[in-house]
Each structure stands twice: as C-alpha cells, then as structure tokens.
Amino acid sequence: MPVIDAAKTFVALFASILLLSMGSALQNTLLSLNLRYSGFPEYIVALTMSGYHIGMIAGFFICQQAVRQAGHIRAFTAFSAIASVAAVAHGFHSSPVLWFILRFMSGICIASLYMVVESWLNEMVAHNIRGRMLSLYMIVVYFGNGIGQVMLNMADIEGSELFMILGILFSLCIVPVALTRSIHPKPLKVVTYNFINLFRLAPFSMLGSFISGMILGAFYVMGPVYCIDRGFDLSMITLFMMVTIWSGLIFQWPMGSISDRFDRLTILAGLSVFVTIVSSLIIMTEVAGFPTLLILSIFFGLSFTIYPVSVARAQDNIDEENIVPISAALILCYSIGNALGPILSSGFMHTAGTSGLYLFCALSTGIMAILSLFFRRRRAGRTDDLTPFVPLPRTSPVISSLHPHRPEEVEMP
C-alpha cells in the first residue's frame, strides 16, 4: 500500500505538525479570551491578534532565506525555539502592545514551521498519491486545531499555566523533526511573478480567497469574544470552536466531490449564498440559546471550503507554469483577508453588538455572491478540464502549490 508506506515515512513530520497545530490553535483562542476577560474592547483584541497574520505574511519570505542559509532542520529548530519563547513571554504581562509584537513574532515562526514541513511533503511524495497524502495532512492540521480548543480547559484562562503548556508544545515540535531519518528536501527556490497579471488570470478565485481569509480570521479571533459577550462559559466556548472547526473538516470531502463535477464558479456562488443564509439565521436566532447556535455552527463550517474550492478553480484551465505563482498569490490574498477580518468584524461588533460578527460574515459572503453574477457573465464555467479538488488547510504556499497532475518537482514561489 503506497499511501500507508508514505504515511509511515512521514510519521515524524506529521507528529510535529500535530503539536504545532495544537499549540497554534490553543494560543489563538487563549489570547482572544484572555484579552476580553481583562476588559479590553473588541477592536483592541482584533488589532492585537492581527499581528499574528501580518507576521505570517512576512514569514513566507523570511523562511526562504533562513532555509537557504541554515538548512531545513536547523531552520525548523530555530523557529520552534523562538515560537516557544514568544508563547511563554505572553504570560509575563498582559499588554496589547507587547502581545502584538509577540504575535508578529509567532506569525513569522509558525508560517515558517509549516513551510519547512510542507516542503518535505511537496518534494518527496509521489505525484500519484499526493492528493491522499495532502488529505491526511489536512486531517492532522484540523484535528490538532480542535484538540487545541479542548486544551483551554486544562488550566485557568487568566493564569500562566496555559502559556507554559504552549511553550512545551512548540518546544516538542523540534523533537520529531530533529530525529527524523527522512531525506532532506532541496533548498527552496524563488520564482518571481507579477501579481496584477495573476489577478487577471483568476480574479474570482483571489476574491474568494480574500473573503475566506476575512471570514475565518474573524471567526478564529472574534469567535471566542462573541461567546463571552453572549455569556457562555469556557466549556461552551471550547465546544463551539471545536464543533465549527471539525465541521469545516468534515465538509471538505462532499464539497470536493461536488466541485469536481460542476462549474466551480457556480459552487462558489452557492457556498457564499449558503453561508450568508446561515450567518443571518445565527443573528435571528440568538435568543434561542446555545444548542441552536451549535447546530447552525455545524453548517457554518461550510465557510471553510471556500478557500480550497477557490484554489481548485484557479488551477482549472490555466498554463502549468502559472500554477505555483497563482497558489502563492491566493495564499497572499487569504493572509491579507486574515489580517483584516478581525479588525473589520470588531468594528461591526462595536457598532451592532454581539451579532456584528455574523453580520460581517453575511455581508462578506453576500458581496461575493453578487459579484459571482458579474463574473458568470464575463466568462462561462467549463467542466471538461477540471483540476481534481484537494482539501487544503491555509498554511503556506508550498502545500497549496501541489498539483495532482504534475509528477515533477514543485518550486517554492
């Protein structure tokens, strides 16, 4: 069984990714909750947490130079150590300015850690099993994200213990990679590209990536704040976050199957309409209580599929040499949306109250649905040459550039 054999080869890398995704998810929710419990307003929470997403954008570029100079394992060790220090340092003082700086550092390190591990997968996995290996990778990432939410219950949110646990998780990331006997990948290579020209090739895909980034960025940062403002206790907040994240994982496969059979522009339009409806229902049923929110949050998990469908659409019917640059451009669009989403949604929450989070989501996907009509008139969708759907976590351009039709090496943009 080639997939099983390949999975055994990458057990160490998957172990590191599991620890990394657990720590990253725990840190994001912990800091949002901590800031809100400390009495800071929504916009301060959003601005402080946006440092992470800005750092991730910078990390995509910094990592390339670090890996080129030091190699993959030493670069991974350095970034893990810095991420561990930054995580523990959050426990010294609850200052939004200090935390913004630490979040920026964490963003650089975590983006770089994902990039190092993904470059291993990108180079060493055979093209005929890449899709299945990437699906396994995605399961590990989302599973770790869900476990990270559960770990919030291990200690007092406003104490220092959880920050120590974060430091332990990021430190333990080093061990599997440092001890792996896997063949090291070749140095990352840079491909220059023109963003404006790439936008002309896949404008709606970039819009979809940007909207997806805004919605999920808002959810991860402001979702815990939304729960606090509604009076939910920590166990309810944990369940809310975990159910939504794992629902996003479960919906990947059915949406992938559907998008492989129909015009993906139509699928993206349908997804945006559906998420708009679900977000509106959450607003209208706020008085119904937590069980209703939990059920609707399951369907809100479909918003997690907007990005991978956008990537698949961008790779339909375009020249092979543009696939890697397009993938990097889509990640950039998503990351910018990630940084803006929490800030914009916090403004909605400050103005409209708790429901402002889902009002922001509904307006964002509503605009996307309207614009899909414009793009449908410009160019009819084709389904005769569709790139097979691959569920994608939004981590780095390396994994997003995997293409199941291409047996050759994929270079880092």
65 lies in the same domain as 173: yes
Token pair belonging to 247: 């629902």
In the prediction, which pLDDT does 86 show? 92
The domain that holds 24 is classified in CATH as: 1.20.1250.20
172 lies in the same domain as 277: no
Model pLDDT for residues 82-120, shown as the tens digit of each residue: 999 999 999 888 889 999 999 999 999 888 888 777 776
Model pLDDT for residues 48-91, shown as the tens digit of each residue: 999 998 988 888 778 777 777 777 778 888 899 999 999 999 98
23 lies in the same domain as 149: yes
Residue 15 lies in a domain: yes
162 lies in the same domain as 279: no
Which of 240-244, 277-281, 343-347, 401-405 has the weakest average pLDDT?
401-405
265 lies in the same domain as 150: no
Q: Give 5-21 as a DSSP string.
A: HHHHHTHHHHHHHHHHH
End position of a domain, from candidates 136, 151, 181: 181
> Between these two residues, 184 and 263, which has the higher pLDDT value?
263
| pLDDT above 60 for 225 | yes
Residue 411 lies in a domain: no
240 lies in the same domain as 152: no
In the prediction, which pLDDT does 346 show? 92
Which of 109-118, 179-188, 226-235, 348-357 has the weakest average pLDDT?
179-188
157 lies in the same domain as 287: no
119 lies in the same domain as 212: no
What Rg, from alpha-carbon coordinates, does the chain have?
20
Residue 293 lies in a domain: yes
Rounded CA gap, 403 and 399, in Å? 9
303 lies in the same domain as 156: no
> Between these two residues, 294 and 75, which has the higher pLDDT value?
294
In the prediction, which pLDDT does 264 show? 78
- 208 C-beta neighbours (distance < 10 Å), count: 33
In the prediction, which pLDDT does 250 show? 87
Rounded CA gap, 87 and 151, in Å? 15
User: Residue 391 — pLDDT band, cuts 50, 70, 90?
Assistant: low
- Per the prediction, the chain carries an average pLDDT of 81
Residue 122 lies in a domain: yes
| pLDDT above 60 for 402 | no
End position of a domain, from candidates 151, 181, 211: 181
Cα torsion 307, 310, 311, 312: sign? positive
Full residue range of the structural domain in which residue 134 is found: 1-181
| pLDDT above 80 for 389 | no
Residue 410 lies in a domain: no
Residue 186 lies in a domain: no
Residue 106 lies in a domain: yes
Model pLDDT for residues 143-167, shown as the tens digit of each residue: 898 899 999 988 888 888 899 999 9
Rounded CA gap, 356 and 376, in Å? 30
73 lies in the same domain as 141: yes
Token pair belonging to 118: 């993904």
Q: Based on the structure, what is the number of domains in the chain?
A: 2
168 lies in the same domain as 208: no
- CB proximity list for 5: less than 8 A, separation 6 or greater: none
135 lies in the same domain as 236: no
Residue 115 lies in a domain: yes
